[in-house]
Structure 1
Amino acid sequence: MDYGKLKEDIIAYSKSIGIDKIGFASSDPFIEMKNLLIRQQELGYQSGFEEKDIEKRTHPELIFEGPRSIIAIALAYPSKLPDAPRGKKGERRGIFCRASWGIDYHVLVREKLEDLARYIEGRVKQSRFKLMVDTGELVDRAVAERAGIGWSGKNCSIITPEFGSYVYLGEMITNLPFEPDTPMLDQCGDCNKCRDACPTGALVQPGQLDAQRCIAFLTQTKGFMPDEFRTKIGNRLYGCDTCQTSCPINKGKDFREHPKMEPAPEVVKPLLIPLLKISNREFRESYGELSGSWRGKKPIQRNAILALAHFKDSSAVGDLIDVLRKDVRPVLRGTAAWALGKIGGDEAQEALLKAQLVEEDNEVLVEIEKGLEFFAVKDEV
């Protein structure tokens, strides 16, 4: 088998099916990444969503028998929202990050990998693969970097010269011995705009992220948002793009070659108040195809409440009082109590005082007290 010719044919085929970048890497252990992951673990910087076994994350031979090489791919996604609806007083809107626009990228990237695997199987009968998109054991970024897709930026994203960091990544381990490509040189230089722009200081040093402080992670949690970050969320419902939009290399990058990635403006930038009472069925119908729906509606609703507090949207007071009085979930009741205090007004204060008399959940009572403290500060002023 002429694997050099096969590699050329695979590259040509990948372009024909809409894969924007493809690279080939060795299947050697990722020792540098292993050391970084160990350090992350020691510092408590992990999100908890990752594969917990660092050995599996860095040793392809532990998750695939007889690995010879890894094929990495990238799909470029849009960065601009055409005809974006504008929020205004009484009709405030939230936003889903760009990586959650269109059909769930896990589905889209896996479809491309499966198509590519079928093509290779048609050429080499004894070929075997293990396909991964984000939720696999290996670190997508480390594979893409080794395969020459792009360099690992200070914002912890793979940055490509052609598409910036607006790319979805996926890979397949294979038993075929392809010649590896050359990794790309780092091109961030002295630039630190992403680190300077991060609202929570989550980029603790170049290429190192404290996930526990990252807004993209925080918007996916299901419990109470830590006090420190509540005023940092802004109107973000899922994810955060600040470390990408601040990157000079991303300036002007907007690729729209994949129709399934096109965002529906009213879905990715929705009105906030209707989210407070959305049913499970309505949520699935409207948001079920987004990658941002994977944690269910509760985190989205909590973030919508925080966004209403961010805007100090007095038109939402009545709806927030309904959440405080009627929602069965303590996290939403408590977050609504905090938001009512943040927004202020006599109606909000009266609702908090009444809720304080009947609420039985201790965590919610703490949040009601936080809400009432906003009024105490105003009285002192």
Structure 2
Amino acid sequence: MNIEQLKSDLIEYAKSIGVDKIGFTTASPFEEMKNRLIRQQALNYQSGFEERDVEKRTDPKKLLPEGESIIAIALAYPSKMKNPPAGKKGERRGIFARASWGLDYHVAVKERLDLMEQWLRERVPDVSVKSMVDTGELVDRAVAERAGIGWSGKNCSIITPEFGSYVYLGEMITNIPFPPDAPIENECGDCRLCLDICPTGALVEAGRLNSKRCIAFLTQTKDYLPDEFRREIGNRVYGCDTCQTVCPKNKGKANWIHEEFMPVPELAKPLLVPLLNLSNKEFKRKFGTMAGSWRGKKPIQRNAILALAHFKEQSAVPELIELLKNDERPVIRGTSAWALGVIGGEQAKEALLEALQQEKDEEVLREIGKGLELLGRG
């Protein structure tokens, strides 16, 4: 078997199925990443969504003992929306992060990896492979960096010369000893825009993220949002792009390449008030194909309430009062109480005072107290 030729042919095939970048590296352990992850755990900076076993995250042979190399791929996604709908008073809109526009990337990237697996099996019958996208054990960023897809930016994203950091990553461990590609030079230089502009200070230093402070993580949690972050969410209902939108390497990278990733404007920038009363069935029908739907409707609805508070949207007060009175979920009732306090007005005050007499949940009662305190300050 001519491995150099196989590699060349695979690169051509990958491009033909919509893979925008492909790189190869060895299946040797990622020692530097291992040390970083151990440090992350010691600092309690992990989100909790990751694989906890550091060995599995950094040693490909723990996942495929006969592994010899790793194939890394990247698919570019859009950074700009054509004809974005504008929010206005009475019709406020939220925003999903760009990585959740269009079809769920887990599906799209996995489809490409599956096709590549099939292609390899047809040519190398005894091939062994293990593919993964985002939720797999390996750290996608470490694989992509070593395989020459891009460099690891100070904002903890892989930055490619062609598409900026707007790329989805995936990888495949294989027992075929493909020749590795060289990593590319880090071009961040002295720039620290992403570090300086992070709304919550989650980027504690170049290349180190405190996930628990990251808005992208916070918007995916299901409990009450800690008070210090509530006003930083803005109108984000899922994810955060701030550290990408300020990056000079992303300037001019629209990446209108794959039709499946092009956003449906009314879904990517949805009206906030209609989000509040969606049933599970309606939510799945409307948003189910987007990556941002994976945690269900509750975090999206909580974030929509916070966004309405951000806008001080008076027209939403009746809907928020309805949630405060009748929603079965304490987090939604409590967040609505806080939002009513931020928005203010006599109607909000009356509703909070009434809820204070009727509510039984202690945490919701605390949120009602916060709302009344905010009204008092107003």
Under TM normalisation by the shorter chain, which class is it?
over 0.9
The amino acid of 1:260's aligned partner reads E
Structure 1 residue 273 corresponds to structure 2 residue 273: yes
What do residues 194-216 of structure 1 show as CA deviations (whole Å, max 9, x unaligned)? 11111001000000000000000
Structure 1 residue 3 corresponds to structure 2 residue 39: no
Report the CA distance between 1:244 and its aligned residue: 0.3
Question: Matches of residues 202-281 of structure 1 in structure 2 within 5 Å?
Answer: 202-281=202-281
Question: Matches of residues 242-321 of structure 1 in structure 2 within 5 Å?
Answer: 242-321=242-321
What do residues 280-319 of structure 1 show as CA deviations (whole Å, max 9, x unaligned)? 1110110000000000000000000000000000000000
How many Å separate the matches in 2 of 1:43 and 1:65?
31
Report the CA distance between 1:183 and its aligned residue: 0.6
* Segments of 4+ moved more than 2 angstroms: none
How many Å separate the matches in 2 of 1:121 and 1:344?
64
How many Å separate the matches in 1 of 2:17 and 2:307?
40
Report the CA distance between 1:3 and its aligned residue: 0.5
Report the CA distance between 1:233 and its aligned residue: 0.1
Structure 2's unaligned 5+ residue stretches are none
Question: Matches of residues 1-381 of structure 1 in structure 2 within 5 Å?
Answer: 1-378=1-378
Report the CA distance between 1:377 and its aligned residue: 1.4
The amino acid of 1:310's aligned partner reads H
Report the CA distance between 1:25 and its aligned residue: 0.5
Report the CA distance between 1:128 and its aligned residue: 1.2
How many Å separate the matches in 2 of 1:370 and 1:259?
46
The amino acid of 2:195's aligned partner reads R
Report the CA distance between 1:363 and its aligned residue: 0.3
The amino acid of 1:183's aligned partner reads P
How many Å separate the matches in 1 of 2:9 and 2:328?
57
How many Å separate the matches in 1 of 2:127 and 2:293?
35
How many Å separate the matches in 2 of 1:109 and 1:98?
16
Give the secondary structure class of the aligned counterpart of 1:56.
helix
How many Å separate the matches in 2 of 1:197 and 1:130?
38
How many Å separate the matches in 1 of 2:280 and 2:212?
28
Structure 1's unaligned 5+ residue stretches are none
How many Å separate the matches in 2 of 1:280 and 1:130?
34
What do residues 222-276 of structure 1 show as CA deviations (whole Å, max 9, x unaligned)? 0000000000000000000000000001011011221111110001100000111
What do residues 48-99 of structure 1 show as CA deviations (whole Å, max 9, x unaligned)? 0000101110111111121100000000001111111100000000000000
The amino acid of 2:318's aligned partner reads G
Across the two proteins, how many residue pairs are aligned to each other? 378
Give the secondary structure class of the aligned counterpart of 2:155.
coil
After TM superposition, the score normalised by the length of structure 2 is 0.99
What do residues 113-168 of structure 1 show as CA deviations (whole Å, max 9, x unaligned)? 01111111111111111010000000000000000000000000000000000000
Report the CA distance between 1:376 and its aligned residue: 1.8
Q: Share of identical aligned residues, percent?
A: 66
The amino acid of 1:171's aligned partner reads E
After TM superposition, the score normalised by the length of structure 1 is 0.99
Report the CA distance between 1:375 and its aligned residue: 1.8
How many Å separate the matches in 2 of 1:238 and 1:135?
18
The amino acid of 1:290's aligned partner reads M
Report the CA distance between 1:193 and its aligned residue: 0.6
Give the secondary structure class of the aligned counterpart of 1:277.
coil
CA RMSD of aligned residues (A): 0.5
The amino acid of 2:22's aligned partner reads I
The amino acid of 1:70's aligned partner reads I
